Amino acid sequence: MKMANSLRGEVLNLYKNLLYLGRDYPKGADYFKRRLKNVFLKNKDVKDPEKIKELIERGEFVMKELEALYFLRKYRAMKQRYYSDVKKT
């Protein structure tokens, strides 16, 4: 039972982190929140610790992808802001 509780904590942390990252999602925070909730509810009955770990790893991968997406978007915005003047001259 101890392992299940620690995995439950990991799952909750993952959900909270993804929810936080979803605020800036391109299709909107509400869209992201609905999709996130559906995915977590779909897997709520999974009991196998190995399967839960797999799902947590997939969620962490999604977090990294979102962070990369946001970083790239911020980089492009900065690049446009600072280099758009160079092209005009």
Average pLDDT on 12-41 reads 94
pLDDT digits (tens, 9 = 90+) for 23-36: 988 899 999 999 99
pTM, rounded to two decimals: 0.77
pLDDT at 89: 47
Rounded Cα–Cα distance for residues 23 and 18 (Å)? 9
pLDDT at 87: 54
Average pLDDT on 17-25 reads 93
Answer left, alpha or beta for residue 47, where phi above 0 means left and psi between -120 and 50 means alpha: alpha
pLDDT at 77: 84
Q: Kindly indicate the confidence band of residue 83, based on its pLDDT and cuts at 50, 70 and 90.
A: confident
Answer left, alpha or beta for residue 25, where phi above 0 means left and psi between -120 and 50 means alpha: beta
Query: Which of 2, 59, 21, 17 shows the shortest CA–CA distance to 51?
Result: 59
